[in-house]
Amino acid sequence: QGGRDPDQELLDTRMRAVKHKILILSGKGGVGKSSVAACLSMALAELSQKVGVVDLDICGPSIPKLLAVEGREVVNSQWGWKPLISPHHGVKVMSVGSLLEQSDNAVIWRGPRKTALIRRFLKDTFWGRLDVLICDTPPGTSDEHLTVVKAMKSADPDGAVIVTTPQEVAIATIRKELNFCRKLGVRVIGVVENMSGFVCPCCQERTDIFSSGAGERLAGEYGVPFLGRIPIVQHLTQCCEEGRSIFQSHPESPAASALMQLAQRV
């Protein structure tokens, strides 16, 4: 009575061992949120940070594939679930995808069960000491998304990186996302524009396939930092699909340098 909730205490203890917690948000699916989350974790690890990624995109977990731990099972230990260790830069990974027998099993969990699972991910995973924990969240501002952000709020995140593409339709959803963060009191670390122009692999000329600059304009309008542009490059898609690190396969790529700059800014 009047005592502290032991679950909350354990969560607080685990999260105290993590210096920075960053949420990755997007207004809609398909803008490259998970790819940016995975690449950002690898870039930070390249910069000698101890990094973990928790995949809270319960209905479409793609982090295990991106970080090449797909098909590996999470095991329990006396200290809690042991996160999987990515072959890329030793990033620690926890995802619902790794808890399901087959990663193509859809998870149709609702409300309280989902909140409980998200809290367990943070509380029952033996993260150990980390410099940065990156949280990949579901897209949008749905109930599910609200659940994730609320559960994460108890872990006292540093803030959110919002990923968008440059088209006006994507920007409209980002407006909602920024208002959502304001309402919930989540600090916005900044906006990053992904798929921002195509850089020709032969001549390096840049073509703006979609419109350009809308992410930067919107960041200005809301008074939040603009964190940069990541171009469309075919080898990023390939790396993502094959679970390879762009920093190892194509370190000279314009996307790799944009992602590395992003890691230095967050």
Nearest CA to 119 out of 91, 81, 86 is that of: 81
CB 201 within 8 A of CB 255: no
95 is a contact residue toward ligand ADP (CB under 6 A): no
CB 266 within 8 A of CB 40: yes
- Nearest approach, Cβ of residue 85 and ligand ADP (Å): 21
Cα–Cα distance for residue pair 188/210, rounded to 1 Å: 25
Residue nearest to ligand ADP (CB): 32
Cα–Cα distance for residue pair 117/187, rounded to 1 Å: 24
CB 165 within 8 A of CB 31: yes
With both helix axes pointing from N to C terminus, report the angle between 143-153 and 111-123 in degrees, rounded to the nearest 10: 30
**What is the contact mask toward ligand ADP in residues 155 to 194, using x (rule: CB under 6 A)?**
---------------------------------------x
Cα–Cα distance for residue pair 149/180, rounded to 1 Å: 10
Q: Which of 14, 22, 32, 191 binds ligand ADP (CB under 6 A)?
A: 32
Q: Hey, which residues between 222 and 251 contact ligand ADP (CB under 6 A)?
A: 230, 232-233, 236-237, 240
User: Per DSSP, what are the bridge partners of residue 66?
Assistant: none
Q: Which of 29, 128, 225, 243 binds ligand ADP (CB under 6 A)?
A: 29
- Nearest approach, Cβ of residue 194 and ligand ADP (Å): 5
Cβ closest to ligand ADP, residue 80 vs residue 243 = 243
255 is a contact residue toward ligand ADP (CB under 6 A): yes
State the residues that interact with ligand ADP by CB under 6 A.
Answer: 26, 29-35, 62, 139, 194-195, 230, 232-233, 236-237, 240, 255
